[in-house]
Structure formats: structure tokens, C-alpha cells
Amino acid sequence: MRTKVAITGAGPAGLLLSHLLHLRGIDSVVLESRDRAYVERRQRAGMLEQGTVDVLRDSGVGERLDREGLTHHGIELRFGGTGHRVPLTELTGRTVTVYAQTEIVKDLIAARLAAGGEIRFGAEVLAVDASAPSVTYRQDGETHTLECDVIAGCDGFHGVSRRAVPGVTTYEREYPFGWLGVLADVAPSTDELIYAYSERGFALHSLRSPRISRLYLQVDPADDLAAWPDDRIWSELRARFATRDGWELRDGPILEKAITPMRGFVAEPMRHDRLFLAGDAAHIVPPTGAKGLNLAVSDVTVLAEALGAWYDSGSAELLDAYSGTCLKRVWRAEHFSYWMTTLLHRDPGQDAFGHRLQLSHLAYVAASKAAVTTLAENYVGAALTL
Ligand code: RFL
Ligand code: PHB
């Protein structure tokens, strides 16, 4: 078996890469260890930068996104019982869009299959060979080898591709926070996302549609879900979002809940020989800045263009620049995600001095146009290509 580009993982990175390569006439095979229903259901990101929306729309997979995605022009920072609007569009000229990662994954799978693309579900990659490019995987109890020109390692943080980059340097920061994410069958209590700091910890009010809310609570990453029955979740959310003007949080049935630890992680370089890492396989950001999915889209956009140039003209210039090009954006996103995370979370190990600094920082971001513009241009992605 042979293909031009072997892609490990059918998350947003692998699927979009396969689609962008197809548009350039380059065939690929996507190998995914899970089944289709699982990858289409996995709850994750929801906030897209305008650049991400443009890539999806311009490549012909934006039809449902244009119909169902919700365009937002601002977010709210809430602390001390008061909301402070961050007018993203006024400050940067850009918008952001709420459209769930699961919907992007469904749209991309449908587009690839309609175009005759090959996605092998239930195919677990065991090893990749970056020098005699090939991928070994197991499907239905049998081991196969897929030979190729190039491997795109898009198999996420727990995947195997990264291990095939010898001498890779990894940079890591564990945050002492976890997020309890909740999907609730209730109309959102807000039009714009609310990022709330309270003495009890961080909370985020997001949404999935005019009828479904997505909410997050800072929790101890070691917490057991059993310690968070639904009524405790709602009362904690109410306490953290409380304002002095009587704003109310609507509640409803909780459809799904999960706890995720928070970490920053970067692997450098993102390439070895014929293997190119993209998305969460190469880097993780804490979700406070809403950057993970957007970085994955940006990586594979750069990679598709570089592979296109290589196949068209034989020039490896863009492929050679791939890792450096991506890492500039990755590190800007790491810093912004760290900045948002430390601004808005309650650190259990923080001393009283640090706590006063944090409160002053929050007040400054709310009061200063320069400070809030820093937040806005990073949030919309305008500051990410330096
Ligand atoms: P994925 O989505 O993890 O996909 C990797 C795929 O590889 C498969 N795989 C394998 N397949 C074959 N063989 C193996 N050995 C394999 N090992 C793994 C996996 O099954 C999977 O299908 O990585 P990708 O494509 O790089 O996409 C990255 C994004 O998923 C991630 O960055 C975002 O979800 C992060 N994120 C957010 N990003 C944003 O841009 N905006 C947000 O608002 C946002 N919110 C979030 C988030 C992530 C969260 N969690 C749960 C981590 C909110 C949360 C709660
Ligand atoms: C989400 O809607 O899932 C979401 C939005 C913004 C974030 C993180 C997650 O910063």
C-alpha cells in the first residue's frame, strides 16, 4: 500500500490537511484509532478566530459554518461583581465565531468521503518511520504498513508520531488547575462569552447554539467527577458569575461533563526528515485563550502550502521553513494562554502579594485601552503572526 501523504489522526488537523491536499491534487490516507461516531462526538473547542473561519470557508467546507456559526464582536471579563466588555471588533477590526469543533470534524469527514477520500477508522498507528517514510498500523487485529513520501503526525498529544523525532526538545508547564466542562440543555444566559474571575476560582460561560450552553469551572485537576453532582455545579457557577446588578444564570439538564487538566507544552522542532508534526501532537495550550484548535488549523494550512510547492516545483524551501514558521505563532499563543490563565484563575499556592498583583492586573486590563487591546489582538489572532 502506498500514498503520497500518510496522516496519523482524524482530528481537525489531520482531516483539514487531507482536505487541503486534495484541493491541490495530492492524495493522502488518514489513519484514526477511534471509530467515526467517537471522533464526531468528542466535546472540545468552540471559539474560532476569523483566520480559521476564512480557511474553512475558502476551502469549500464553510457552508454550515456560515449558516450555524455565531459571529461575536466582544467578550466580557467579569470580576468584583461587575462586567467589563472587551470590544474585540472595535479594537481589532476582526470578529470571532462560535462553532463547535465536533461540527467542523463532521463537516470535514463528510467532505473527504464525498470526494472519495480515504479515512481508515479503527486503525491504530503503532510506529512511524521518518527516514524510509512509512507508517505501521493495526486494524481488525492485523498489522499493515503504509508507504508514503511524507508523514503528517496529527495524532494529538497522546499520539505516537512525536516519539519518532529523535532529540526532540520539549518545554512543559503544568498548571495547578483543571477545567470541569459542562454541556447543558439550556438557552445561554448571555450573548457574548463571559470569562469570570472570582475568589472561588475561574468560570467561563460559552455556548454552542441559541439552545445549548457550554460552561466551565476551575477545579482541582485531581478532583473526581463524582464530587461534582449537577446541583453543586450550578450553585458554584452561580456564585462565581454573581454580579451586583442581579444578573441571573439560567440552569437546565446537564448533558455531559468532564474534567481536563491544564498544561502548556511545545515540542521543537516540529519536523524530522520526512515527518511533520501538526496540532496537539506538537503543542498544547491551556484552553483559557481558545487557541488550540486555531493553532492546529494554522499549522496544517502552512504544511499544505509547503507540500503543494514541493510537489509542484520540487522546491523544499517552504518545507524547510515549516517548523520555524509554525513555532513563532505557537509561542505567541503559549504566552497569551499563560497570560489569560494566570490573570483569571485563583492559584491555591499564590501568596498574598501575588494575589494583590493579580487584582491590580485585572483592574488595569479593564481600565486601560492599551492593556485591553493587547488582550483583544491576541484573542482574535491578529498578533499571532509576528
Ligand atoms: P486531536 O483533536 O486530539 O486529534 C488527534 C486524533 O488522533 C487520534 N490518535 C490516533 N490515531 C491513530 N493512531 C494513534 N496511535 C493515535 N493516537 C491518537 C485521536 O483519536 C484523535 O482523533 O488533535 P488535533 O487534530 O491536533 O486538534 C487539536 C484540538 O483538538 C485542540 O487543540 C482543541 O480542542 C483545544 N481546545 C480549544 N481550542 C480552540 O482553538 N478554541 C477553544 O475554544 C478550545 N477549547 C480545547 C477547548 C480543548 C479542550 N480539551 C478537552 C482538551 C476546550 C477543552 C475543554
Ligand atoms: C468553548 O466554547 O468550548 C470555549 C470557548 C472559549 C474558551 C475555551 C472554550 O476560551
Q: Which atom of ligand 1 is nearest to the CA of 278?
A: 26
Regarding the beta carbon of 13 and ligand 1, being less than 6 Å apart is answered yes
Q: Given this model, what pLDDT does residue 382 score?
A: 85
Helix (H, G, I), strand (E, B) or coil at 227: helix
386 pLDDT higher than 60: no
Output the CA 64–ligand 2 centroid distance in Å: 20
55 pLDDT higher than 90: yes
Output the CA 166–ligand 2 centroid distance in Å: 34
Q: How far apart are CA 301 and CA 329, in angstroms?
A: 13
Closest-CA residue to 214 (of 199, 233, 228) = 233
Q: Give the three cell numbers for residue 346.
A: 485563583
Beta bridge partners of 276: 152, 271
Band of the pLDDT at 43, cuts 50, 70, 90? confident
pLDDT, one tens digit per residue, over 103-152 is 999 999 999 999 999 999 999 999 999 999 999 999 999 999 999 999 99
Burial class (CB in 10 A: 0-12, 13-18, 19+), 143: exposed
Q: Given this model, what pLDDT does residue 158 score?
A: 97
In the chain, what are the domain boundaries? 5-47+101-172+263-344
Q: How far apart are CA 66 and CA 253, in angstroms?
A: 28
60 pLDDT higher than 80: yes
Output the CA 372–ligand 2 centroid distance in Å: 19
Q: Given this model, what pLDDT does residue 45 score?
A: 87
Regarding the beta carbon of 133 and ligand 2, being less than 6 Å apart is answered no
Q: Give the three cell numbers for residue 255.
A: 448533558
Band of the pLDDT at 25, cuts 50, 70, 90? very high
pTM of the model as a whole: 0.97
Output the CA 292–ligand 1 centroid distance in Å: 8
- Report which bound ligand comes closest to the CA of 195: 2
pLDDT, one tens digit per residue, over 27-37 is 999 999 999 99
Closest-CA residue to 179 (of 205, 217, 150) = 217
Mean pLDDT rounded to a whole number for the chain: 97
Q: Which residue has the cell 480515504?
A: 118
Across the range 267-294, mean pLDDT stands at 97
Band of the pLDDT at 383, cuts 50, 70, 90? confident
Q: How far apart are CA 199 and CA 6, in angstroms?
A: 48
Q: Given this model, what pLDDT does residue 350 score?
A: 96
pLDDT, one tens digit per residue, over 209-249 is 999 999 999 999 999 999 999 999 999 999 999 999 989 99
Q: How far apart are CA 293 and CA 357, in angstroms?
A: 31
* Domain boundaries 5-47+101-172+263-344, CATH class: alpha beta
Regarding the beta carbon of 208 and ligand 2, being less than 6 Å apart is answered no
Q: Give the three cell numbers for residue 258.
A: 468532564
Q: How far apart are CA 382 and CA 330, in angstroms?
A: 13
Task: Give the residue numbers marked as catalytic.
Answer: 72, 195, 287, 291, 379
Beta bridge partners of 216: 181, 204
Closest-CA residue to 261 (of 179, 349, 156) = 179
Evaluate whether 301 touches 276 at the Cβ level (below 8 Å): no
Across the range 199-214, mean pLDDT stands at 96
DSSP state of 55: H
Which residues, 6 or more positions from 60, have their beta carbon under 8 angstroms from its beta carbon? Answer: 23, 111
Regarding the beta carbon of 290 and ligand 2, being less than 6 Å apart is answered yes
How many C-beta atoms surround the C-beta of residue 23 within 10 A? 13
Could you write out the three-class secondary structure of 142-211?
A: EEEEEECCEEEECCCCCCCHHHHCCCCEEEEEEEEEEEEEEEECCCCCCCCCEEECCCCCCEEEEEEECC
